């Protein structure tokens, strides 16, 4: 069912941050930084995959993501909802259910046998596809998924995520240059603000995370092992 209520963008961001903190999806550690997929260190790590195990929070955030996309892109803007393998798949299914649209998913690479497909499900030429993922950092990983969708003859000009890092200035330009608009619920800045309000972490840790968020490249260079 399509949600009938439309909270403000600011309220959606605040509540999303609160929910991510509540389920322990937010991890801050300035003493022993996490290593990201890029191999670079970070004092912060977000695990949006945990959301699938919390039905009330999961349902609320999928309502938020659906109304955000419709408010930003239009109520009849899409014909197909595609999830990116693997984290985006459950969220794409939940958004597709709310919007009463077909759901598909995009593999990171061809599976290597059978049809050797990257698109699973039914996607056809001319369809307007929304790519759904759990999060985006610098936007680069989205481009391969978008290209795979476009190779079918469908169009993909929008991607929706629960969480956007919002600390790398090139992200929205990278996506924009590829003809893709980004829609999201909250950022590290929203999470940091809510963490301070809740006292979810000690002040030293929060100050260290803020230093990283303000200049992540310099922080990473200083903390390489």
Beta carbons within 8 Å of 112's beta carbon, 6+ residues apart: none
Q: Is 139 part of any known ligand binding site?
A: yes
Beta carbons within 8 Å of 222's beta carbon, 6+ residues apart: none
Q: Is 44 part of any known ligand binding site?
A: no
Number of other CB atoms surrounding residue 58 within 10 Å: 18
Q: Is 131 part of any known ligand binding site?
A: no
Q: How far is CA 122 from the centre of its chain?
A: 23
Q: Is 86 part of any known ligand binding site?
A: no
Q: Is 136 part of any known ligand binding site?
A: yes
Beta carbons within 8 Å of 174's beta carbon, 6+ residues apart: 138, 139, 140, 143
Q: Is 134 part of any known ligand binding site?
A: yes
Q: Is 88 part of any known ligand binding site?
A: no
* Contact yes or no for 134/162 (Cβ under 8 A): yes
Q: Is 140 part of any known ligand binding site?
A: yes
Tell me the C-alpha distance between 112 and 118, whole Å. 10
Q: Is 111 part of any known ligand binding site?
A: yes
Q: Is 215 part of any known ligand binding site?
A: no
Residue 125, both tokens: 């030429």
- Which residue numbers belong to the known binding site? 107-108, 111, 133-141
- Which residue numbers belong to the known binding site for 5-phospho-alpha-D-ribose 1-diphosphate? 107-108, 111, 133-141
- Which residue numbers belong to the known binding site for orotate? 137
């Amino acid at each position: 069912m399509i949600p009938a209520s439309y909270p403000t963008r600011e309220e959606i961001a605040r509540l999303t941050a609160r929910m991510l903190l509540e389920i322990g999806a937010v991890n801050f550690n300035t003493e022993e930084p996490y290593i990201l997929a890029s191999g670079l260190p970070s004092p912060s790590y977000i695990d949006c995959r945990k959301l699938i195990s919390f039905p009330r929070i999961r349902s609320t955030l999928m309502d938020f993501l659906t109304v955000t996309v419709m408010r930003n892109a239009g109520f009849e803007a899409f014909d197909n909802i595609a999830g990116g393998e693997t984290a985006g798949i459950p969220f794409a299914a939940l958004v597709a259910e709310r919007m009463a649209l077909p759901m598909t998913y995009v593999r990171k690479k061809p599976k290597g046998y059978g049809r050797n497909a990257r698109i699973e499900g039914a996607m056809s030429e001319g369809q307007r596809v929304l790519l759904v993922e759990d999060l985006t950092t610098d936007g680069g990983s989205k481009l391969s998924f978008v290209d795979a969708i476009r190779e079918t003859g469908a169009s993909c000009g929008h991607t929706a995520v629960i969480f956007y890092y919002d600390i790398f200035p090139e992200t929205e330009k990278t996506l924009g240059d590829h003809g893709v608009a980004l829609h999201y619920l909250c950022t590290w800045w929203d999470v940091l603000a809510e963490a301070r309000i809740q006292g979810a972490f000690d002040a030293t840790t929060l100050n260290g995370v803020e230093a990283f968020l303000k200049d992540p490249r310099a922080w990473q260079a200083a903390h390489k092992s």
